[in-house]
């Protein structure tokens, strides 16, 4: 099994939370399982509960996603 870098994990989590990418699209792009993506996102959200800096980062990513959704096309 190939070890996936921390950088790739962060990219996947950010793509899901901030960019609103679907798990299906991330699975196809990165060749990882649905469970892996879900676990990474869950772990990141749990980490944010104990780390104020990460919690702030999560809030910014979620706000960017909300703003992009509101933006008229």
Can you give the pLDDT at residue 3? Answer: 85
For residue 68, what pLDDT is reported?
Answer: 87
Q: Which of 27, 7, 5 is nearest to 16 (CA)?
A: 27
* DSSP for residue 65: H
| pLDDT in single tens digits along all 73 residues of the chain | 578 899 999 999 999 999 999 999 999 999 999 999 999 999 999 999 999 998 999 999 999 999 988 876 5
As a whole number of angstroms, the distance between CA 73 and CA 59 comes to 24
Please tell me the predicted confidence (pLDDT) of residue 73: 57
Q: In the prediction, which pLDDT does 1 show?
A: 58
């Amino acid at each position: 099994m190939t070890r996936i870098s921390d950088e790739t994990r962060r990219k996947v989590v950010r793509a899901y939370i901030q960019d609103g990418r679907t798990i299906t699209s991330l699975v196809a792009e990165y060749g990882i399982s649905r469970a892996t993506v879900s676990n990474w996102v869950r772990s990141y959200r749990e980490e944010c509960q104990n780390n104020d800096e990460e919690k702030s980062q999560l809030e910014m990513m979620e706000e960017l996603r909300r703003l992009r959704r509101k933006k008229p096309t």
